[in-house]
Structure formats: structure tokens, C-alpha cells
Amino acid sequence: MKSASEYWKERFGEEPKSDNDKLMCAMMLEYAEHYQEEMQQALSLGAVSVSLPSDPMVLAKYLHDNYEQIAKRTNWNTQENCKVEFEDLPIENKNTMILLAGKLILDFVGNER
């Protein structure tokens, strides 16, 4: 797993500079470690059962469609260029969703297949 500073640099193209940036990195790392512990405990107790499609394109479309539906129900105004069918998304958005879907599949069910 990347460090919070490595993620920051990858995401923003620069090292964390200000004290606030560094605090955010520390908080990101603490949150990630806490979340990872909770997930491991839940999985070891059998409390979580994950079943995802094996095709990242299928999961990416599902995530996009459901995100937009939930956004409408909760009055969240998403970007206009994203209020389209998955196939019509801007290529950057579509590729990001496909990569996220692939990561979900690998991280949560990759070892079980």
C-alpha cells in the first residue's frame, strides 16, 4: 500500500508542503489503517460477504448508474457532462470508473477466484 504522502504526490503532482497538507496526509493514513482493520475484523467474523462481477466494465457501469440515481434521490447535483449513460461519459471519467471497478474486484474478491 502507498503511503499517504505518496498518494498525495500522485494525486496532486507535488509533495505535501504546508503543515495542513502534512496533517491531511497523517489523517488519511490513520483513516486507511483504521478502515483496513475494521474490514479485516468484519471479514474474519464472516460479517461481510462480497460478490462482484468479474468484468470491470460491468461493475463500472453499475457504479456509474447507481451513483447518478442516488445523487438524484439525495438532491446531489453531479456534473452535467456526467449525467449521461456510461457509454457517453467523457473518456477520462469512464477510464477512472473502469480502473476503480478493476481495483474493487482485485482487492475484494481477487484472491477468492
List all residues 6 or more positions away from 51 whose beta carbon is below 8 Å from its beta carbon.
109
| Domain map (residue ranges) of the chain | 4-44, 56-109
pLDDT at 92 over 70: yes
Q: In the predicted model, is pLDDT for residue 113 greater than 70?
A: no
Tens of pLDDT, residue by residue over 1-29, are 667 777 777 777 888 888 777 777 777 77
User: What's the sign of the alpha-carbon dihedral 8, 97, 83, 87?
Assistant: positive
pLDDT of residue 111: 54
pLDDT of res. 65? 92
Euclidean distance between CA atoms 83 and 3, whole angstroms: 34
Please tell me which residue, 25 or 79, carries the higher pLDDT value.
Answer: 79
pLDDT in tens, 49-66: 667 778 889 999 999 999
Mean of the per-residue pLDDT values of the chain: 81
pLDDT higher than 60, residue 90: yes
Q: How far is CA 21 from CA 10, 55, 111, in A?
A: 14, 36, 35
pTM, whole model, 2 decimals? 0.53
